[in-house]
Amino acid sequence: MNPSAIWTAFTTIVVREIRRFTRIWPQTLLPPAVTMTLYFVIFGNLIGSRIGPMEGFDYMAFIVPGLIMMSVITSSYANVVSSFFGMKFQRSIEELLVSPVPNWVILAGYVAGGMARGLGVGLIVTLLSLGFTDLQMYSVSATILTVIMTSMLFSLGGFINAMLATKFDDISIVPTFVLTPLTYLGGVFYSIQMLPEFWQGVSMINPILYMVNAFRHGILGVSDVNVWVSLAMVAVFIVILSTVSLRMLSRGRGIRH
């Protein structure tokens, strides 16, 4: 395929993905908006006012970056895993497999679709948070770079999960038993400085901690970890997961017999 045809194929996949999640917006866009508003009200306003400042910021301002990141991570992952597995389940993935679209374009299209939903939800949650706190912007570049890279990484994660999944249970195991605990324990609601030394060490092996802190650094200028180490880690994971995804696509794991 020539570059123009490849671009058409890529935009076709992305547009179809965006059309899918906007068509079912009560399942994709509304729930995170409702959930995060509840977090803002309960943890930010009601409980947060009794907790007091954290790292020099009131509790609401402290948790907003983490909650935005949580919704970006969850939505990016969920979009790709449910869309791609849905196509596998309905066998409509065969539409792509019989076409001349190169594997890297298929992967890029799905990842871009996941990022579109992740970043869209992130934007919705950010706008909602403005009703509860005044958001600063310490570093625009660090904020945007972190959220884009994180969204990309978890879209890739969702893609691999969908490739490996053989039944619907398989696409809920990772979000429920891996992503949610890691996100909750990844410094969304607290600074790891509050933990005993041993648990601080344990927290440092949680990759989501780095992304939440890099994003918080972008907005508030405070972080438990080095921001550039965080971004470098995310970049390395992106390269690894992209390689694994392309290898799986090329072998046709779970999609070709």
Under the binding rule (CB under 8 A), the answer on residue 25 touching another protein is no
**CA nearest 126: which of 84, 168, 72?**
72
Under the binding rule (CB under 8 A), the answer on residue 50 touching another protein is no
The span from the CA of 179 to the CA of 189, in Å, is 15
Residue 172, Cα to own-chain centre: how many angstroms?
15
Selected binder of another protein within 6, 41, 108, 222 (CB under 8 A): 6
C-beta of 108: minimal distance to another protein in Å? 14
- Tokens coding 122: 């992130």
C-beta of 220: minimal distance to another protein in Å? 41
Q: Which CB atom, from 50 or from 257, has the smaller least distance to another protein?
A: 257
Selected binder of another protein within 27, 45, 79, 100 (CB under 8 A): 100
Selected binder of another protein within 31, 102, 221, 254 (CB under 8 A): 102
Task: Give yes or no for a contact between 176 and 139, defined as CB atoms under 8 angstroms apart.
Answer: no
Under the binding rule (CB under 8 A), the answer on residue 87 touching another protein is yes
Under the binding rule (CB under 8 A), the answer on residue 254 touching another protein is no
C-beta of 29: minimal distance to another protein in Å? 17
Selected binder of another protein within 22, 27, 45, 90 (CB under 8 A): 90
Selected binder of another protein within 72, 78, 101, 124 (CB under 8 A): 101
How many positions of this chain bind another protein (CB under 8 A)?
31
Selected binder of another protein within 97, 182, 222, 238 (CB under 8 A): 97
Segment interacting with another protein, rule: CB under 8 A, options 6-14, 43-51, 119-127, 220-228: 6-14
- Residues of this chain that interact with another protein (CB under 8 A) are 1-2, 4-6, 8-9, 11-13, 15-16, 19, 23, 86-87, 90-92, 94-102, 252, 256-257
